């Protein structure tokens, strides 16, 4: 079973860029059919799908974040990353990486994905 582990700074200043990496082990990001995802959870709140990437580099973003979000993949390092620009306190959350399997994407729209497994999550606080 593939395992995922998030890494990155736990504190980011307002207006700066939040950068996180997800290291994939016991599996390959280059395996077809899987989409490598970022999901966040505001403190004490529900879950928000941010976006995901295929090993080919194709990306799919939540429109609510699209203007600030970039997800990239490094197949040589077997990891994928998130960059979120111009952060505010509203971006304070636990950030999870996860593998999305089971579905497919076509014409910019994806369907039928479920998230399994997830990384343990990392809390990122936006504060000066």
Partner 1 sequence: DIQVTQSPSSLSASVGDRVTITCRASQSISNYLNWYQQKPGKAPNLLIYGASSLQSGVPSRFSGSGSGTDFTLTISSLRPEDFATYYCQQSYTTPYTFGQGTKLEIK
**Closest approach of partner 1 to the CB of residue 112, in Å:** 5
Rounded distance between C-alpha atoms, residue 23 and residue 21, angstroms: 6
Q: Which one of 83, 85, 89, 114 is in contact with partner 1 (CB under 8 A)?
A: 114
Using CB under 8 A, count the residues that bind partner 1. Answer: 26
Among 33, 85, 89, 116, binds partner 1 (CB under 8 A): 116
Taking CB under 8 A as the criterion, the residue among 47, 56, 57, 85 binding partner 1 is 47
Q: Please give the C-alpha separations between residue 55 and each of 29, 30, 52, 87, 99, in angstroms, as whole numbers.
A: 6, 5, 10, 27, 12
Sketch the per residue contact string, 13 through 42, with partner 1: x for CB under 8 A, - otherwise: ------------------------------
């Amino acid at each position: 079973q593939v395992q995922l582990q998030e890494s990155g700074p736990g504190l980011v200043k307002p207006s700066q860029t939040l950068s996180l990496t997800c290291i994939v082990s016991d599996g390959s990001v280059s395996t077809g059919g899987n989409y490598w995802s970022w999901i966040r959870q505001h403190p004490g709140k529900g879950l928000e799908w941010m976006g995901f990437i295929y090993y080919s580099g194709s990306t799919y973003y939540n429109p609510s974040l699209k203007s600030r979000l970039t997800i990239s993949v490094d197949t040589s390092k077997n990891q994928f990353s998130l960059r979120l620009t111009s952060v505010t306190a509203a971006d304070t959350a636990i950030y999870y990486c996860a593998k999305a399997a089971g579905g497919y994407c076509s014409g910019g729209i994806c369907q039928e994905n479920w998230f399994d497994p997830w990384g343990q999550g990392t809390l990122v606080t936006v504060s000066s």
